[in-house]
Structure 1
Amino acid sequence: MSTSTFRPADTTCPENHATAWTAALRYPSLTTTVPKEFVHRASVAEVMLTDWKRTGDDRFVVSAQWPRGHSFFTAVDGHHDPLISAETIRQAGCLLAHAEYGVPLGHSFLMWSLDFAVRPDGLLVDDAPASLDIEITCSDVKRRGRSVAGFRYDAVVRRNGRIAATGSADFTCVPSKVYTRMRAERLAPGRPRIPLTAPTAPQTVGRISPTDVVLSPTGEQNSWQLRVDTRHPILFDHPVDHVPGMMLLEAARQATVATLGRPALALGLTSTFTRYAELDAPCLITARRLPGTSAGESVLVTGHQEGEPVFSTTVTAAAPRPE
């Protein structure tokens, strides 16, 4: 969620306007990222999207790029990290909400669901960054008076014309004043945060650095405390008053690896979010294996805080390779 304010470049100055227009004519193939404020990121380096256009009523194509290497979304067995597709789909919804549906940049977003499924061949790391075209279809557009208050969207991610991933998400957005009223208790000055807990062994959750581990051991099998390090430069790209949804998805992925007892490429996940994960109370993460299929193995991961459910994610991981 973002409460940042974006000020567009001054296009009222004829000199500035002419310079920009001349550059566009001379270099029509130049690529830049979309404004970071549109995707609720503080770091330009974390913006995956490069352009967008409307193709019909509530239909759009968004361009994106995945780097060959990333400090957090690290390659998995020669594949781009599947969770980078979830982050890309998340960013696409924010972009269209602001740029096409007129949602003010000061509004806060409440994500209710986020799903994705990947095709491993489409995620192979190549000798150049992956250029993507994402077909977005928006539906169930909610309105509050004249303002858009949220919508659902479905995404098809294509790489070189072939489907690399699909996904969907559903969110609502509220004005800053409403959000402040909703969150008054948690936003109170001086409210303490829980101490940073020790990470579980990185190799057991598919990580190399303890810094990227988001689970702490509890002494119980398939049970962990969410490890919330608000200094993490990717998961906490900017200050927020709750645990970001992408961190919960990473917790689900790490819990899946630990439960399966092996490294695993996530083929997809389905997630629902029922309430905010707060920064001032422990969040218990539990995992349970589900019946497997020929396509892979599935694990149900849930999060509870103060006795209430926070999120539920089913992760499907690629089946182990035959020995």
Structure 2
Amino acid sequence: MSANTLRAECATPGTQHVETGHRVATRSAVLRYPSLTTTVPKEFVHRASVAEVMLTDWERREDHRFVVTAQWPRSHSFFTTANGCHDPLIAAETLRQAGSLLAHAEYGVPLGHHFLMWDLSLTVLPEHLSVGDAPAALDIDVVCSDIKTRRGSLAGFRYATVMRRAGHVVATGGASFTCVAPHVYQRLRAHRLSGAGAQLPLTAPTAPQDVGRVSPTDVVLSPIGQRDRWQLRVDTRHPVLFEHPVDHIPGMMLLEAARQATVATLGEGVTPLSVIAEFSRYAELDAPCVIEARRLPRTEHEEAVEVTGHQDGEQVVRSTVTAAASAG
């Protein structure tokens, strides 16, 4: 599919009809809007709400190289701004959406297939994250590689991205995933999809100010009385982290847990500069997930925290979050 399917030329409101004998001509045939901007179909990026779609267009440049455009709002209910800057995790969500879009729109993965993210990395340049007088418009170079097929259909790929804003690099990153047909997913996840495991009760949040949040509803860590360890707080009513019903804990929630654990470890005011995350298995809704943070050796300019998540004795995620070193 070409991105041109998303572009529309619309008649200008108020155009006049001109009588020419028995024919009625309309000047709207001449007076038309140029190409208009809209979001890509929400189904292509696995969102239920158009408001949560960051991507606006895409175009194939070479066999496996694309340019995707995106827009970040000046304000968002969850990806909140701090110190006048866009939330770095909105770049992670944009990165996730780009892979899903291209898989469906350019590599022919049918809607309804399930995606399993294996890893995600992201580095942001905070000097280009500032919130301006208008939403941030992004041009994203995407190169897909390590493309795997199964019986002639895409089974997954790795992709690398460079996000630019007004010509300046604002973020770089990449990810890899596999996609699974519905009947295969049903077989793999039969026990979970049957609802056999009861969802855990919602636990109390850690103090929002300790994890860089304002509202307790956005806190994803619950205290368990141990330093640098928390239980993942899973609120399936959250309008962004659980934007639509799912049978497991979303990867973006695990990234947010890593960010919040990093802030709790390094101190308030910390802004992540980079994150590298590896996802080992599905994080389930019916078992406690313990999040643990370990401060790594500090360098002259950076501090880093390793954050892991374990469930039923198995690691589900391991991530390293890097932030600018504090003064002194």
TM-score by length of 1: 0.92
How much identity, in percent, do the aligned residues show? Answer: 69
Larger Rg computed on CA atoms: 2
Distance 1:218 1:183 in 2: 30
| Alignment deviations for residues 171-212 of structure 1 (CA, whole Å, 9 cap, x no partner) | 000100000100011112353111000000000000000000
1:276 to 277, 282, 293: 282
| Alignment deviations for residues 95-136 of structure 1 (CA, whole Å, 9 cap, x no partner) | 000000000011000000011000011101111110000000
Q: Is 2:191 the counterpart of 1:214?
A: no
Q: Is 2:40 the counterpart of 1:34?
A: yes
2:53 to 26, 47, 53: 47
Could you say what secondary structure the match of 2:226 adopts?
Answer: coil
Could you say what secondary structure the match of 1:291 adopts?
Answer: coil
Could you say what secondary structure the match of 1:156 adopts?
Answer: strand
| Alignment deviations for residues 48-89 of structure 1 (CA, whole Å, 9 cap, x no partner) | 000000000100000000011101000122110000000000
Distance 2:33 2:9 in 1: 10
Corresponding residue number in structure 2 for 1:14 = none
Q: Is 2:174 the counterpart of 1:168?
A: yes
Could you say what secondary structure the match of 2:183 adopts?
Answer: helix
> C-alpha displacement at 1:263, in angstroms?
1.9
Corresponding residue number in structure 2 for 1:291 = 297
Corresponding residue number in structure 1 for 2:265 = 259
Aligned length in residues:
305
Distance 1:221 1:122 in 2: 35
Counterpart contact for 2:157–2:178, Cα < 8 Å? yes
What letter matches 1:60 in structure 2? F
> C-alpha displacement at 1:26, in angstroms?
2.1
Distance 1:61 1:20 in 2: 19
2:70 to 60, 64, 67: 64
Q: Is 2:129 the counterpart of 1:129?
A: no
Q: Is 2:186 the counterpart of 1:180?
A: yes
Q: Is 2:83 the counterpart of 1:83?
A: no
Q: Unpaired segments of 5 or more residues in structure 2?
A: 13-30
> C-alpha displacement at 1:235, in angstroms?
0.2
| Alignment deviations for residues 23-53 of structure 1 (CA, whole Å, 9 cap, x no partner) | 5992223110000000000010000000000
Corresponding residue number in structure 2 for 1:95 = 101
> C-alpha displacement at 1:316, in angstroms?
0.4
> C-alpha displacement at 1:22, in angstroms?
5.3
Corresponding residue number in structure 1 for 2:16 = none
What letter matches 1:134 in structure 2? I
Corresponding residue number in structure 1 for 2:239 = 233
Greater relative contact order (CA < 8 Å, ≥ 6 in sequence): 1
Could you say what secondary structure the match of 2:146 adopts?
Answer: strand
Q: Unpaired segments of 5 or more residues in structure 1?
A: 1-10, 12-18
TM-score by length of 2: 0.90
Could you say what secondary structure the match of 1:132 adopts?
Answer: strand
Counterpart contact for 2:65–2:143, Cα < 8 Å? yes
Could you say what secondary structure the match of 2:225 adopts?
Answer: coil
- Aligned ranges for residues 305-316 of structure 1 at < 5 Å? 305-316=311-322
Structure 1 residues 28, 294: closer, same or farther in 2, change over 3 A?
A: farther
Could you say what secondary structure the match of 1:26 adopts?
Answer: coil
